[in-house]
Amino acid sequence: MKSKILGDPSSVPPGVGEVNWSNDMRRKTQAGPSMRVGGHSGVGNWKPTTVAVHAGTYDDPVTGAVGTPIYQSSTFILGEEQYRAIDEGYARDRFIYTRYGNPSQWAVQEKLAALEGAESAIVFSSGMAAISATVISMLDKGGHVVASSELYGGTYNFFHHELPSLGFTVTYVDPRDLVQIEASIRPETMLLYFETLTNPLLKVVNVPALGDIAKRHGLRLVMDATFTTPLAMRVLEHGAHVVVHSCTKYLNGHSDLVAGVAMGARRFIDSIWPRLLAFGGSLDPHACFLLERGLKTLPLRMNAHQDGAKAIARYLAGHAKVKEVHYPGLEQHRDHKLACELLSNFGGMIAFSVGTDAAAQKLLDNLQLARQATSLGGVETLVSLPYNTSHAAFTSDQRTKLGIAPGCVRLSVGIEDAEDLIADLEQALCCI
């Protein structure tokens, strides 16, 4: 395709391509890759709702169709410029082959980067593909990781089973114990890895304090911000070097695809890109289209998730059969103060306990509107029990130690009317 926008030599930013880019210092600061001349589109002072709609979205240059076309192509015509990109080492900035990059990927990457305030982004075929590629990129031979003891299960499995077999070591720490975190740092420590909110109890992790520790010890900080999204907190501004998300959750928001993203300074994302090529977790162009479409309503959905979750958390807190409610937006949540400082949106996740796992299972079976399924962040309310899903590998004693009480229920509040969801919970709680 010969167009002004799509990888045509005439759209190359001035200077780029005339020099060996790997020796060009500007490489360190250039945002992108982007189809726009001169890097990412300026989002200026746009508010997140505007950024979500417009950043990284490209009208079809041929037909004028509004919105980014789906470039369902595995490969791209090779010309002089593409050969030069391969030869001179800037293949990430040209279209060559879809595992390397595709216009549909670039478009959604640009939108994600604009929302996160990141220079660069790479989308992956799942959150785990993003996490594994990122973590491996941040480590060198013999490296040691200090990681949260309350990680997402897939991440824990990767850290516990894959990293040691590659010669890396991991120390697990209480994500809120800054003294323990700092004391776990060794001479060979290279990486701190944490999640912004823990699953399922929604403990709030002090990202600026972690950023400070990383800085003082010369370590890399990677944050999984899946539960908070770039709208509630931009972790890169608090000292994280790379942020990863499972786009499967809030970012896409419609429970209809699996995807992930890693974002940060261009030099870090450039170091992750070879792992995308090697491990092969690239995101299909059609999924990119769906993700880009989903992202356009992220700010609207997050407000709706928060409104619903606040109302439901308050309702649950006042219910006689509910023992405890964990929602960072509730005053009685032990991290409420920190949550107010760090988060501009408390999200849609709630954990609460009904006393026994049998009662909790009965509750789930009684629910008619909320669907019994794992995952989170979709428009539909989902409910699951840690004891037989995310934390099934733990004994009940181990769960209690983590603070997961018997009968713990995890609720991902969708965007339905809160009154309907409360009515559903009311009838379901009534007969457990």
Ligand X SMILES: *Cc1c(COP(=O)(O)O)cnc(C)c1O
Q: Which of 249, 326, 391, 399 binds ligand X (CB under 6 A)?
A: 249
Q: Could you tell me the smallest distance in angstroms from the CB atom of residue 73 to ligand X? A: 24
* 205 scored as a contact of ligand X (CB under 6 A): no
Q: Could you tell me the smallest distance in angstroms from the CB atom of residue 230 to ligand X? A: 14
Q: Which one of 224, 270, 284, 357 is the catalytic residue?
A: 224
Distance of CA 189 to the CA centre of its chain: 24
Number of residues that bind ligand X (CB under 6 A): 15
Binding map of ligand X across residues 71-110, x = CB under 6 A, - = no contact:
----------------------------------------
Q: Is 28 designated active site?
A: no
Q: Could you tell me the smallest distance in angstroms from the CB atom of residue 143 to ligand X? A: 21
Looking at beta carbons only, is 156 or 315 nearer to ligand X? 156
* 228 scored as a contact of ligand X (CB under 6 A): no
Q: Are 260 and 130 in contact (CB under 8 A)?
A: yes
Looking at beta carbons only, is 118 or 287 nearer to ligand X? 287
Q: Which of residues 112-131 bind ligand X (CB under 6 A)?
A: 126-128
Q: What's the CA angle centered on 156, arms 128 and 140, to 5 degrees? A: 75
The beta-carbon contacts of 211-218 under 8 Å, at least 24 apart in sequence, are 211/238, 211/239, 211/240, 212/239, 213/178, 213/181, 213/182, 213/185, 214/239, 214/240, 214/241, 215/239, 217/182, 217/185, 217/189
Q: Could you tell me the smallest distance in angstroms from the CB atom of residue 413 to ligand X? A: 15
Give the burial class of 41: count Cβ atoms within 10 A of its Cβ; 0-12 exposed, 13-18 middle, 19 or more buried.
buried
Give the burial class of 323: count Cβ atoms within 10 A of its Cβ; 0-12 exposed, 13-18 middle, 19 or more buried.
middle
CA distances 196 to 44, 250, 297, 338, Å, are: 27, 14, 22, 12
Q: Is 357 designated active site?
A: no
Q: Is 249 designated active site?
A: yes
* 195 scored as a contact of ligand X (CB under 6 A): yes
Looking at beta carbons only, is 105 or 155 nearer to ligand X? 155
Q: Which one of 27, 84, 99, 334 is the catalytic residue?
A: 99
Q: Which amino acid is at 17?
A: G
Identify the three-state secondary structure at position 93: helix
Residue number of the CB closest to ligand X reads: 127
* 282 scored as a contact of ligand X (CB under 6 A): no
* 402 scored as a contact of ligand X (CB under 6 A): no
* 144 scored as a contact of ligand X (CB under 6 A): no
Q: Which one of 90, 100, 152, 193 is the catalytic residue?
A: 152
Q: Which of residues 153-172 bind ligand X (CB under 6 A)?
A: 154-155
Ramachandran bin of 46, using left for φ above 0, alpha for ψ from -120 to 50, beta for the remaining angles: beta
Looking at beta carbons only, is 359 or 379 nearer to ligand X? 379
DSSP annotation of 397 reads: H
Q: Is 186 designated active site?
A: no
- d(CA 136, CA 249) in angstroms, rounded, equals 23
Looking at beta carbons only, is 175 or 260 nearer to ligand X? 260
Q: Which are the contacts of 308, defined by CB distance < 8 A and separation ≥ 6?
A: 348, 381, 413, 414, 415, 416, 417, 418, 421
* 152 scored as a contact of ligand X (CB under 6 A): yes
Looking at beta carbons only, is 249 or 305 nearer to ligand X? 249
Q: Which are the contacts of 168, defined by CB distance < 8 A and separation ≥ 6?
A: 139, 142, 143, 144, 145
* 211 scored as a contact of ligand X (CB under 6 A): no
Active site members: 99, 152, 224, 249
Can you give the binding site for ligand X, defined by CB under 6 A? 126-128, 152, 154-155, 195, 224, 226-227, 246, 248-249, 258, 260
